[in-house]
Structure 1
Amino acid sequence: MAQVCLLGEPGSELRYELLSRETAREALSTYDLREPYANSLALDTVSIGAAVSLLNDLNWYLVRFARTALVQADSVSETEWLSRDLATAVRDGDVDPAETGEYLKVYGVEDGRPEDPAFVEREGDWTPDRGGYDEVLVVRVTEAEFEA
């Protein structure tokens, strides 16, 4: 099982933008859509491969209306998300899932809205400090994304 979460760009209404366009609406029609954060769209897929495939199908819209696309796969972590690039690398077998927790992008979530992320390099058993936020959204990223 895997989940996809799309965070919308500020100034756009992600759900409206996706569902008002026929191709995106058809791609999403078989999923139960939810909104875990303000201006977001989340859904469950059968696997990390299906999640990455769906993101590829929606790419034209994601480039225009999404701030980021995340994948959460229980086979990698039950609590942390993967960036789209890292999920693709795991799916393709280029990265071992056990070796994905070093580079992180951490969002503080306030009033249901993920704030601008901070990049953190994890050492040991580090867990994120909520730092006054309602919750923290932890995203594992590739080394290239971390260094960019």
Structure 2
Amino acid sequence: METVWAELELMRGPLVAFVLSGLIGWEREQRRRGAGLRTYILIGVSAALFVVLADTLIVRFSDNSELVRFDLVGVLGAVVSGVSFLGAGAIFSDRSGGQAKGLTTAAGMLATAGVGVACGLHLYVLATGATLLILFTLGVLGRLADRHKPEEERGN
């Protein structure tokens, strides 16, 4: 029974990532962007899960042998690489003007992975603050930027 409680304790990070990433995904969903609620939740929860798993492996096996090397920074690098790969798929060029589309989506995915990593490390105040900054950037600053675009570019 003790193992179940320990695992439930580990679930805090992914659960908080679910909520915070969901807020970001909800904002994207409401603005009808390519990646929405489910995508952002999966990115945030996955990032948190990988960090929790890496941390658990380090705690569980680090004392057993000096030959075993653990690298939490490597896990973070893998999360960034994986999410960047997803983000690259969201970016495309407009044929008429050669203007890149999807950059904000890709950046939002990467930022959401950062929130997930913070949750996986149980840095909930940092994760919440970052989420608020991301929401402000996507919401308030996004609307301000849209107002200053030419009419034919709005809503893209």
Global fold match (TM > 0.5): no
Structure having the higher helix fraction is: 2
| TM-score, normalising length: structure 1 | 0.30
Q: RCO higher in 1 or 2 (8 Å CA, sep ≥ 6)?
A: 2
| TM-score, normalising length: structure 2 | 0.29
